[in-house]
Structure 1
Amino acid sequence: MSRHTQNPPALEALRSEIDALDDQILALIERRVAVARKVAHAKDPAQSVALVRPDREEQVIDRLSALSTMPKGSLATVWRELMALSLQAQRRTDIVIHAPTDPSGTTARSAARFGAAAPIVAVDSVEAALARARAGSAVAVIELSRSDPWWLALDRDDGLAVIEQLRGPGDKPSALALARVSDVYLARARRWEVLADSEFETRLRYGETLFPLACSHAKVLCIVEDVAVQLKGAA
């Protein structure tokens, strides 16, 4: 008797159905990317800003999560990759990384967040990464480090905004992603701010949801969360 047995007809039929679905999914993905290119043409090409839209990504994932039985994390992973493809179809957007302590881990986490299609560029200094982001066509990903509180300058830099926080082993904050993005396009549920210690304590006492990420020179880098928006997105 042959060591290889034939698959039951029912299994072959199911596999054929999956192949047909894959063909449809591929066609829809290519159609989505084509529409993204049209979106790029509809935007002002003279604007020197990044085309990332954290608020739009958040809205898409929240809307689809409400319609799906998939775990939200799995759905977010799939759609972030699709949105990353669309972003690169609109305009090349480099992910410029400065991560002297953990370059490989930061690169992997950046690819997971901004898509496998995103070009990754390593630079030797915080200043080089920020300069690329200020030019408008790149996202800077900069490692958080106790020895280099580079984030202190963010409260004086109105040209850049933190758009994401990457987390490393143990779910600890490992890096911030920054881009030249208008406030109206930032995520609604959370933002990142640099506050004086006194202001941080005052706002905490008044009931704001603040989470400190780093402290230096009487300043606090923190996440400010809007609980009402989060609850609305989860509803």
Structure 2
Amino acid sequence: MTTHILAKALPAEVVELTAEQMALSALRSEIDSIDDQILELFERRLAIAAQVGKAKDAPTGPHTKLRPDREQAVLARLTAKAEPENKEAVSALWREIVGWGLARQGRLQVHVYAPIDGARAMDAARTRFGAAADIRVVYDAQTALTHAAEGNGVSVLSVSGDDAWWIGLRKEWSMLSVFEGFGPNDTPTSLAVGKIDPPALPTGRRVIVTAGGDAGDGSGARRWGLNTHHGWTLALTDADLGVGDVEGCVGAII
């Protein structure tokens, strides 16, 4: 005779969370809730950015969709409100957010010409324009300038080499303006150029291309020399100049 023994079911083991685990779970739940709010706000911002793109219409002619003055003002406002230890993170995050907003108006095409220290110029362009931008290397300045002059994108060009492409900003590339500098604050090693609406240039030091040295014009305005070539000088100045005037102003950087 076979005897069947029925095993009594044992209750599932109860796992008790420690106070630390419960606290961590609560924090993660709070982060999930914040992430949901951020996602909702980000998608709302993208939708509004697309509407802004349709509303943009530069009054003085066709220009790129970039508004460096607006970006400068918004970034200054946000970093001023941020806690000191968060300012760098806020700045980097906002650059990405605005980059994706611009992408809703058409993906920004950025050409980089930097025969010397190209990796640094690429990193600077990526930081400035964000992951949404289509950034590519080109191997001559004329290609980069032509791309910017078409008005659908911008270019970043090195000023530390022997190619004095910047002289052309006074001549055949006068439709372009410098709107950003990358590298040391007083002596950037590369500049961003594009068909920027002049009123949309950032508030800051003017970029000038002049015949002669960088000693100044006697007005007392400070100058920072960036490069020279056959009697021409590329420099920064804190003088209040307008783009295209007789002083050789070709743009502005923060």
Residues 64 and 53 of structure 1: is their aligned pair in 2 closer, same or farther, counting only changes over 3 Å?
same
Whether the aligned pair in 2 keeps the contact of 1:98 and 1:129 (CA below 8 Å) is yes
Mark the CA change 1:33 to 1:190 in structure 2 (over 3 Å): closer, same or farther.
Answer: farther
Give how far 1:142 is off.
1.1
The match for 1:207 among 217, 220, 240 is 220
Contact 1:189 1:226 in 2 (8 A): no
Alignment counterpart, residue 218 of structure 1, candidates 223, 231, 241: 231
Output the CA distance in 2 between the equivalents of 1:202 and 1:147: 23
Query: Which of the residues 185, 206, 228 maps onto 2:200?
Result: 185
How far apart, CA to CA, are the structure 1 residues paired with 2:178 and 2:28?
44
* Larger fraction in helix: 1
**1: CA distance between counterparts of 2:186 and 2:239?**
21
Distance 1:103 1:163 in 2: 19
Q: Name 1:164's counterpart in structure 2.
A: 180
Contact (CA 8 Å) 2:56, 2:65: kept in 1 or not?
no
Partner residue in 1 for 2:153: 138
Instruction: Name the SS for the 1:8 alignment partner.
Output: helix
Aligned-partner Cα distance in 2 for 1:159–1:194: 14
Report the structure number with the largest CA radius of gyration. Answer: 2
Aligned twin of 2:13: none
Q: 1:209 to 1:172 in 2, by over 3 A?
A: closer
Deviations 1:79-112 (Å, cap 9, x if unpaired)? 1111111111112220011222333332222111
Residue 92 (structure 1) aligned to one of 104, 107, 131: 107
Give the conservation status (yes or no) of the 8 Å contact 2:186–2:224.
no
By how many angstroms is 1:124 displaced?
A: 2.4
Cα separation, 2, equivalents of 1:217 and 1:68: 47
User: Partner of 1:17: helix, strand, or coil?
Assistant: helix
Q: How many residues are aligned here?
A: 220
Structure 1 residue 60, shift from structure 2 partner: 0.2
Q: Deviations over 1:47-84 (max 9, x none)?
A: 64211111001100111122221454332211111111
Residue number among 29, 36, 39 corresponding to 2:42 in the alignment = 29
Q: Distance in 1 between the 2:89 and 2:112 partners?
A: 25
What is the CA-CA distance between 1:172 and the residue it aligns to? Answer: 5.8
Once the two structures are TM-superposed, the CA of residue 131 in structure 1 deviates from its matched residue by: 0.6
Task: Quote the sequence identity (%).
Answer: 36
Code of the aligned partner of 2:177? A
| CA distance in 1 between partners of 2:216 and 2:130 (Å) | 39
Could you say if the C-alpha distance between residues 145 and 65 of structure 1 is closer, same or farther in structure 2, counting changes exceeding 3 Å? Answer: closer
Q: For 1:110 and 1:193, how far apart are their aligned partners in 2?
A: 22
Give me the whole-angstrom Cα distance separating, in 2, the residues matched to 1:108 and 1:143. 13
